Each structure stands twice: as structure tokens, then as C-alpha cells.
Structure 1
């Protein structure tokens, strides 16, 4: 989900859009498998027409667990995006209430990344962007192909700074 055109300024275009790495959906996937296995096991143990109410109660519990344990995290992951344009970085997240943070590229002082062992194996990491404000740096967590994204951000920051230096 790229940044909508109506939210961009004149001359701005999207360079890259990404979500967090799919690894954040591993636990919800495990929850889905466990709930499905347990539900199937329990349904096989409950027998007879007399237990129809119990069966429906168990199905209801399974649906609630799948919704909160799997579907809700998936939709949160789907709605959380990082968009890099030629002028700024935009973080947007939230399902019912959308929140975001925007950092203009010409205000960025430092671009760093962190990768633990799991991140190195999966090819992702956290990009930390510090700008010229009093707020803490913006951590872009679990970015896939972190090195390429880091290079792209750094190149765009250098381009913005060289344009600023030329205009002075």
C-alpha cells in the first residue's frame, strides 16, 4: 500500500514502500495451527446430538481465538507501512485509528541499522533514523532487505543535502 497521491506534495514520488518482515506473522500462524488442531481434536472427542450445544460453544471459542490471535495481527501487519519518497519518510499504522510519523529527508542527521542473529538469517533488520528534532529516532522495525533500504535512504539523504548546499 503506497502513500496515496493526495498525501504527496508537488514533485514528490514514491521511491520504495515496505511493510515489516513477514516473520512477525510466525506466532499468529502457530496460533492458527494450534487452534485448528485442538478444535479438530476436541470436536472428534465430543460425540452425539446431545452435545450439539457444546460443539457450537467450542466453535465459537475457536473463532474468537483465531480472530484475536491470527486475523487481527495479520490486518495490523497489512496496515503498517513505511513509504520512502524523494522528499520524506512516512510511517503509517493502525486499523481503526490511523497514526503516522513523517520525517523530511533534509532533516535527517543519522541513518543506522541493527540486525540480530535472527534478522541476519532472515535478511531483515531495524532502521533507525534520527532527525534534527527533540523526538527520539524513528525505528523502522523488521524492514526486509535492510541493507538495500538503508542504501536507498542514505543516497536520498545525500541528494537532499547536496541540493540544500547548492542552493545556499
Structure 2
């Protein structure tokens, strides 16, 4: 879900709109794959005289278990976004209760980047946007974190075109 144009101020341009890195869904994907493989194996070994009730039971159980194990984490991932515009950083999270944070670029005094070992493997990281209030805004699992850091730095130095051109793939 991209941010609505109605929520942007005059002359404000979206530089980057993104979800957290897909690695946040990796545990749910692995569990779902194991669940489906187990159900397939179980379905194969069901005796012929029990197939009438056992096969629907197995796959209904998979469907019911998939909701908390995969569907809900996926919806949470889909509804959690970071948006960088020429004037602010916008975060939005939540399914039923939407929460958000808008940080004007003019309030950012420092940008720190952190990449753990697994972040380096997946090409993501955490950005800490420091303000004068000593309460940093943490953007966790940001894809292409170095590129995003360059874009924000360019915006802080009023190089809007440099921020837009920072990522040649987008």
C-alpha cells in the first residue's frame, strides 16, 4: 500500500516507499513449508479406509494453523511501511490500530546504520535517525540500508535529485 497523495504536502515527492525486509517473514515461511510437507506426507500414508475423513481433516488443520502461523505475520508485514519523502520520514504499522510516526527531515541531526551478521547476508539493516530530543527513530530491517542512508543524507543536504537518483534500480 503506497502512501496516499492526499497525505503529502504541496511539492512533497515520495523518494522511496518500502516494507521491512522480507527476512522478517522467513520463520513464518519455513514453518508453513514444514506444515505443508508434513500434511502431504501424512496424506500419502493415510490408509485407504480412512481417506474419506482423514484427508479433509489434515488439510483443514493445515488451513486453520496457517492463519496464525503465516497469514497474520504476512498481513503485519504488508501493513508495516517506511516512506521517505523530500520533507519527512513516515512510518506506518498495524492491522486494526494503525500507528505512525512522521519525522521532518529538518529535525534529523545524525543517521546511524547497523548491520548484524544476518543483515549483511540479506542486504538490510537498521537505521537510527537521531534528533535533538535524544529519542532516535529506529527503522528496523530496512532493505538496501546503505542506499536509503545515502538518500536521506542527500535530502538533508537539500540534494533532492541526488536522493531520487541514488538507487538506479528504482
TM-score (norm 2): 0.84
Deviation digits for residues 52-92 of structure 1 (CA, Å, limit 9, x no counterpart) = 33433322221122222122212211211100001100001
The 3 A distance-change label for structure 1 pair 151 and 50 is closer
In the alignment, is residue 38 of structure 1 matched against residue 38 of structure 2? yes
Deviation digits for residues 108-149 of structure 1 (CA, Å, limit 9, x no counterpart) = 122111001121222110011122336x31111111111110
Partner of 2:115: 115
Structure that is richer in helix per residue: 1
Unaligned runs of 5+ in 1: 161-168
| Residue 50 (structure 1) shift | 4.5
Q: Distance in 2 between matches of 1:133 and 1:53?
A: 62
In the alignment, is residue 4 of structure 1 matched against residue 4 of structure 2? yes
In the alignment, is residue 137 of structure 1 matched against residue 136 of structure 2? yes
What are the within-5 Å matches in structure 2 for residues 71-110 of structure 1?
Answer: 71-110=71-110
Partner of 1:166: none
User: What root-mean-square deviation, in Å, do the aligned CA atoms of Structure 1 and Structure 2 show?
Assistant: 1.9
1:159 alignment partner, SS class:
coil
| Residue 51 (structure 1) shift | 5.4
Deviation digits for residues 14-36 of structure 1 (CA, Å, limit 9, x no counterpart) = 11111111111211211121111
Q: Distance in 2 between matches of 1:120 and 1:55?
A: 43
Count of residues in correspondence between the two structures = 159
TM-score (norm 1): 0.85
Q: Is the 8 A contact 1:103 1:131 kept in 2?
A: no
Unaligned runs of 5+ in 2: 160-170
